Structure 1
């Protein structure tokens, strides 16, 4: 499959349509293409060649959107660096990726000594050097590289191709639909697949992207209530924060708001029920870095009937449960489709993520019900085996989060002489005692699932996309 150069094609088709809205200004697709093209020519003058690999360290703002598009116009692979990493972690990823240059937003980040750095300000002062613009891309052309969050071990550099991203965007729009008034509220980090995928969907769909550098629950709630946006991507934590604002301010969801996509792990039923009561159309999704965002999504018509499900596979995708064909039987989730990465780079290059049959082993545990709906139970690596019984931390967390005084909850296993391992809970709470928590859990959890220890903390360890890092909880123990 030959894929059109996304921004070039969109700039030709709908040059006057709204493309990007930030707190500073608004761009049409024609303006976005023109300014990105100029930056790409300045990057070329700075010594960056088509086919190079660039590591990008930047903020989630409009300038980053322009630089990402500029890199793709120049046919440069972009390694999206997590700006929250330490200098040591950043160095490791840049070196592992064998990046030709490190491109830095010098308004926020310092140059890393010893690495071949080019800053945004240096690029923008360069003259423009023209190059031959490639108007069509090969399906297997690498567009982006993202390192896995490292929640299960050593980070892996995941290749994401033009074909992967295009297939993901098309599968999503076949499920969600598209209108001329669509505007996607983006408060996700652009170095994460949930943020980057919105940039890509915007140009493929011809859809406006309303960009914020950081998550702001009050701003999100007001935009949703005012009808300025029609879709948003969140995780469980940020969904809860938006819902709390809307409840407190007696806000209702504007009729034009069509989809609140919730990913990044299981969502407590309490959150879903409260969001639904506010009129928020919740669509639970399941995906990962290796699948360029969504693999399954729960349709709006099934949201109440299949509460807690991550839905069915999107049109081009397949899912399977390893070792079983029986509905309801729990096992490792396998994925296949054109959105799945062809492999890793760097130190993990020889470690293929795919089986001989082309399935991606996710490391997530789940089941498919009799109607084909996927339910994610937990991460296989987080499973607690206590006295021979399997305990999934997410199940305990969902119960804890249903308590009105609990803001956040994380559960992990602790070694125990008698049982092997027992669950321990970490809680962010407004005001509640350990006894009140345990009394609440006793009627909702089997005794062997009850937390044997509760620790009250100010915050839980989360990565840049606000996913809970349970391995850090184990380190705290």
Structure 2
């Protein structure tokens, strides 16, 4: 039985294909698809999954880099009422196997690049696992580990699955990075994704000729959310398999990209690759997430006229929670903006009282885009969701006008001699040095101060810089307790697939 109409919506892609069938929906390495063609490709994928045994309520895991088949799977799983489990293709087999087992997935869809890993996971997952190799939507599907496509599946392809989306139903399980122990599976409903899309549209606006570039991984909330917004808004998604600065710049110039989502390091690399060549006026928004952005980068963008819009979001909020309005990008440089429509944000002191203007505290979020909880972890859910508010573990402050400024993760805070040191602030100071490409800061034990900052720095290619020069540079710009006790020069910094700095690895190596 379908849920009551007041609590559900029509299938998003199906309705979009009926409303604007000939608009371009997807541009990828496989070619271009209109919404009508994408809807047809999803119908075929839906039928194949049904023949494979996927049913409503079942969990379908996907191990793939960005691709058109991945896009088809997202919509096909929803069409069947199955729960989607996007897997981070950069994780180890042990981590992937644990997530598959924890989520109860019985099906694993994979691209060709991950075939060997997928076949190995069938043993590691500790449960029966059916595998499906993903081919191009233009070429149909090829099966692996199941059976060849049968006559019954060809008949099923001609059947259109019609289903309404219950907004309270879980659509996606996304595992968050675990600071301690195993990662947690955040359950995101259809309502979470819909409200996230609506809030973003009311902030950034939607134009019929918009094209949103997805070069963030689709297995992260920031990438996945672009697929939902493309369909809900009726705009094209330009999909890249991975991030390549030159290719992104070329897509902005030649593929009509008007919006792009990146993190700070990606944007820095785009600017370095582009040089003095200005971006076209058609690029109206560079949505910048993934943590606090270095102020020197924002100032560089302002000087070049790059339309950067900072945002703050989490897996648990289905992407954005706050976003700076485009017209305020310069007047509120460094701010992540105000809450999206329907979302509320507060900053709390340690005693739970609301912090005053510009007083740092923990950022808490409430609204219809916030997760319903963590899969199978009632204690973690009750710790994170208290009184209807999601306690993020992030530190920030609100100014007198209600604009949010994100400082750092609570777990990353360094307390040196009783003073709070925010690693992001120290990193920003280091990254303002012309010789520095990247910087990561952690706290290390100190006999006198309890903790002291240690910085790991990557120099720009072809540039030589000493730790003493950088220490002297910091002393001129930071308070004594914020200045690193030691600076280590390294070849590279470990980052997640979404471009976030992996401080845990820095602590293991240098702490």
Same topology, TM > 0.5: yes
Whole-angstrom distance in 2 between the partners of 1:178 and 1:193: 20
Instruction: Find the counterpart in structure 1 of residue 3 from structure 2.
Output: none
Q: SS at the partner of 1:425? A: strand
Whole-angstrom distance in 1 between the partners of 2:444 and 2:268: 28
Q: SS at the partner of 1:352? A: helix
**What TM-score do you get using the length of structure 2 for normalisation?**
0.90
Q: SS at the partner of 1:133? A: coil
Q: SS at the partner of 1:310? A: coil
Question: 1:338-357 to 2 correspondence within 5 Å?
Answer: 338-347=368-377, 351-352=381-382, 354-357=384-387
Shift of 1:256: 1.2
Whole-angstrom distance in 1 between the partners of 2:62 and 2:452: 42
The answer to whether 1:113 aligns with 2:133 is no
Residue in structure 2 matching 1:272, options 270, 277, 298 = 298
Shift of 1:329: 0.9
The answer to whether 1:125 aligns with 2:149 is yes
Runs of 4+ in 1 over 6 A off after TM superposition: none
The answer to whether 1:231 aligns with 2:244 is no
Question: 1:419-438 to 2 correspondence within 5 Å?
Answer: 419-430=449-460, 431-438=464-471
Is the CA contact 2:65–2:242 (under 8 Å) kept in the aligned structure 1? Answer: no
Shift of 1:461: 1.3
Q: How has the CA–CA distance of structure 1 residues 142 and 349 changed in structure 2, closer, same or farther, with 3 Å as cutoff?
A: farther
Whole-angstrom distance in 1 between the partners of 2:354 and 2:318: 26
Q: How has the CA–CA distance of structure 1 residues 350 and 335 changed in structure 2, closer, same or farther, with 3 Å as cutoff?
A: closer
Residue in structure 2 matching 1:467, options 500, 505, 510 = 500
**What TM-score do you get using the length of structure 1 for normalisation?**
0.96
The answer to whether 1:452 aligns with 2:485 is yes
Q: SS at the partner of 1:122? A: coil
Whole-angstrom distance in 1 between the partners of 2:258 and 2:210: 5
Q: SS at the partner of 1:309? A: coil
Q: Which deviates the most, 343-352 or 171-180?
A: 343-352
Instruction: Find the counterpart in structure 2 of residue 306 from structure 1.
Output: 332
Question: 1:153-302 to 2 correspondence within 5 Å?
Answer: 153-226=181-254, 228-247=256-275, 250-302=276-328
Instruction: Find the counterpart in structure 2 of residue 43 from structure 1.
Output: 49
Q: SS at the partner of 2:115? A: coil
Q: SS at the partner of 2:13? A: helix
Q: How has the CA–CA distance of structure 1 residues 413 and 325 changed in structure 2, closer, same or farther, with 3 Å as cutoff?
A: closer
Whole-angstrom distance in 2 between the partners of 1:419 and 1:401: 25
Residue in structure 2 matching 1:92, options 87, 92, 98 = 98
The answer to whether 1:147 aligns with 2:175 is yes
Instruction: Find the counterpart in structure 2 of residue 63 from structure 1.
Output: 69
Whole-angstrom distance in 2 between the partners of 1:425 and 1:269: 18
Q: How has the CA–CA distance of structure 1 residues 235 and 280 changed in structure 2, closer, same or farther, with 3 Å as cutoff?
A: same
Whole-angstrom distance in 2 between the partners of 1:417 and 1:353: 33
Shift of 1:426: 0.4
Whole-angstrom distance in 1 between the partners of 2:94 and 2:163: 38
Q: Which deviates the most, 290-299 or 106-115?
A: 106-115
Q: Deviations for 1:11-34, whole angstroms, at most 9, x for unmatched residues? A: 111111100001231000000000
Superposition RMSD in Å:
1.6
Is the CA contact 1:415–1:422 (under 8 Å) kept in the aligned structure 2? Answer: yes
Q: SS at the partner of 2:372? A: coil
Gapped runs of 5+ residues in structure 2? 1-6, 134-141
Q: How has the CA–CA distance of structure 1 residues 349 and 51 changed in structure 2, closer, same or farther, with 3 Å as cutoff?
A: farther
Q: Which deviates the most, 98-107 or 259-268?
A: 98-107
Q: Deviations for 1:127-173, whole angstroms, at most 9, x for unmatched residues? A: 24367734321111111110002245531000010000000000000
Is the CA contact 2:373–2:385 (under 8 Å) kept in the aligned structure 1? Answer: no
Shift of 1:298: 0.7
Shift of 1:353: 5.3
Q: SS at the partner of 1:190? A: coil
Whole-angstrom distance in 2 between the partners of 1:444 and 1:107: 47
Q: Which deviates the most, 345-354 or 52-61?
A: 345-354
Is the CA contact 1:227–1:257 (under 8 Å) kept in the aligned structure 2? Answer: no
Q: Deviations for 1:451-474, whole angstroms, at most 9, x for unmatched residues? A: 111111111111110101112111
Is the CA contact 2:355–2:361 (under 8 Å) kept in the aligned structure 1? Answer: no
Q: Which deviates the most, 302-311 or 1-10?
A: 1-10
Q: SS at the partner of 2:186? A: strand
Question: 1:10-25 to 2 correspondence within 5 Å?
Answer: 10-25=16-31
